[in-house]
Structure 1
């Protein structure tokens, strides 16, 4: 073995130089001019392992060092594996130039493979751990920044909404009086409806701010009546889109919660459906189904408009995510918050045939608002 080790030591410079010429290096690798030194370190690792001057634990620590360096420059891990295998192959090819006893050659090949296998496995394992740790830190930073944005938005929305709602309420009240005094005056109904729509949109920001939630008691809500109110509220939009609203609702279905919040969920989802159907040709359908089974209330609202792309489906409940030119990206986010506050869940499935939002509520009483 000493003869073989001496042979490898004699040809170190040539093999390292060959490694430098054939190694795969990324242009943005800050260590690209010195990466051949890793090849030399691997070569000397084999020599020291042959002489029992290096243990498998030492190889592991070297692998960790190289993995940390490779992680810092964010290289393609496939290139790293290629380069390690290149170093192994150069040493094995070199051994074929010597005249060694078969037994000594076989033992040398076994030790070389053992050395490189441990190095590669430990390096890849460490690289993966470091990469996962970096991703976790970035995700945590993004989530923290996202929460900060929501906090700022909440503070701004709360201040703005309270200042805005006072004159808005007055305008709505005077519009109603105007309608009573002049019942034949055109466009008053449209003005009142638009004011209610504006008030509804403002309420979404109020719910996001959390500060706009006034402590109150939950109540038992008849879902058929609530959907009738919702459809009546949205009737101008429904007529404009020329949509067919199809309802299959169990008249006995009830839900314990906050009426105005649940109504807002229904308005959000049906409004989104109408927006999608507005661009559709042919028959336009919004289907509403409500039923109870095994202590669970299930509500589904579907439409036959353009499907949601599969890559966007996981994002639709994220705050500020919207595909509308003038959308706020808060409707579905607020809806999900409300439903979860009512001990419920909401899911969405979308295909060429229909897009369906399904809400499920258990018999658990809703948590009181803070």
Structure 2
């Protein structure tokens, strides 16, 4: 070991040449020499355990420094190995006792391994802390975005609902004042107006899922799955007929769900209308399936269409606000669906391939 201490400058010179060759972008040679000298002190002082050595206290700062500079940990470890090779190269030309060299190298190897484990530990500890901090900041930004949407939604609901309430009231008055003969002529048109009115109401309810100050908070109640599906299909069937879509429904009609009726109607309506939009560019053979399954804990409602596959680059963020593949889409529909399903102790997911895209709604079973 005394021999190695005497040749530290040569070892550092050899190591510097190797580092320059491997990492020519590294320019701070003085800092590299200083850290290399500390490192060799730690490695050569075999009488002091690695964890107790004064230089060991500097390792966390080293790791934080290279992590902040974006240096991959593998580069730091490679630099450690290059320094070990420089030690071997210095020993090789000299005539030393073979057994003594083996003992020295075994001790050095053990201390290098201890140092490398410490580097990986502290580097990962710091990197994990930074990742958690970044995740926290992203969550805060996401929450700010949701709060902004919520404020916009509450404002829109107030401005839109007032005139809508007046419209609905006047429709009711007109029905009451029209004769039966007149109702035969205009009744179906008034039915269409009322259906469209209900559609707008559901859209407003969906937007309010982002608002912390909801205008109306509907209570959950027991409703049959069949009744829930049928109430939505009544509104969307004209569009399906117009688009020549073949609809197949296989629903466990008597299953009871404990949910908010209007918001869940909004979720179903949104997914079905999205499916209709997805089939627009398909010339023939348009199909949509709505079916349900149940296990011990949950009821699942699947809405499938044979339209195009959802782009892979959108899949991880599909339920986030403002994410859409539609040229005229707002990117809020599926985000609203996600919010509503969470509020109703449910969830929404999807599977998509080139043959079919299926959105899956899951609800907790309504147990006594």
Following superposition of structure 1 onto structure 2, how do residues 57-68 of structure 1 map, counting pairs within 5 Å? 57=51, 58=53, 60-68=56-64
Q: CA, structure 1 residues 217+190, in 2 after alignment: closer, same or farther (shift >3 Å)?
A: closer
Alpha-carbon contact 2:42-2:50 (below 8 Å) kept: no
Q: Distance in 1 between matches of 2:154 and 2:284?
A: 42
Residue equivalent to 1:257 = 259
Aligned to 1:139: 135
SS at match of 2:140: helix
- Relative to structure 1, is the Cα distance of residues 201 and 326 closer, same or farther in structure 2, using a 3 angstrom cutoff? farther
For normalisation by structure 2, the TM-score amounts to: 0.85
The equivalent residue for 2:364 is 362
Structure 1 residues 365 and 260, CA gap change in structure 2 (3 angstroms): farther
Rate the CA distance shift 1:67–1:13 in 2: closer, same or farther, 3 A.
Answer: closer
Q: Match for residue 349 of structure 2?
A: 347
How far apart are residue 68 of structure 1 and its match?
1.1
In structure 2, relative to structure 1, the CA distance for the partners of 1:43 and 1:99 (3 Å cut) is: farther
Which string of whole-angstrom CA distances, capped at 9 and with x for unpartnered residues, describes residues 156-201 of structure 1?
Answer: 2202221122123434665787897694699888776655544443
Gaps of 5+ in 1: 27-31
Q: Distance in 2 between matches of 1:86 and 1:111?
A: 17
Alignment pair present for 1:284 and 2:280: no
Mapped partners of 2:196, 2:141: distance in 1 = 35
Structure 2: distance between partners of 1:70 and 1:286: 55
- 1:162 maps onto 2:154 in alignment: no
Q: 1:319: which partner in 2?
A: 321
Residue-by-residue CA offset, 1:208-236 (whole Å, 9 max, x unaligned): 21422534443221222222221121134
Q: Distance in 1 between matches of 2:188 and 2:228?
A: 29
Shift of 1:121: 1.8
Q: 2:9 matched to 1:3?
A: no
Deviates more, 1:200-209 or 1:132-141: 200-209
Q: CA 1:220–1:20 in 2, change beyond 3 Å: closer, same or farther?
A: closer
- What TM-score do you get using the length of structure 1 for normalisation? 0.84
1:151 is aligned to 147
Q: Do the aligned partners of residues 364 and 61 (structure 1) sit closer, same or farther apart at CA in structure 2, a change above 3 Å counting?
A: farther
Q: Which runs of 5+ in 2 are unaligned?
A: none
The aligned counterpart of 1:335 is 337
Q: Which moved more, 1:101-110 or 1:325-334?
A: 325-334
Q: How many residues align?
A: 360
Which secondary structure state, in structure 1, belongs to the residue aligned with residue 309 of structure 2? coil
Work out which of the residue numbers 12, 27, 37 in structure 2 matches 1:33.
27
Deviates more, 1:194-203 or 1:56-65: 194-203
RMSD between superposed Cα atoms in Å: 3.1
Out of 73, 78, 81, the position equivalent to 1:77 is: 73
Which stretch shifts more, 343-352 or 45-54? Answer: 45-54
The CA distance in 2 between the partners of 1:234 and 1:295, in whole Å, is 30
Q: 2:44 aligns with which of 40, 43, 50?
A: 50
What is the match of residue 29 of structure 1? none
- Distance in 2 (CA, whole Å) between partners of 1:336 and 1:170 is 31
Find the residue that maps to 1:234 and give its secondary structure.
Answer: helix
Q: Is the 8 A contact 1:290 1:298 kept in 2?
A: yes
The 1:142/1:292 distance shift into structure 2, 3 A limit, reads: closer
Going from structure 1 to structure 2, the CA distance change for 1:245 and 1:60 (only over 3 Å counts) comes to farther
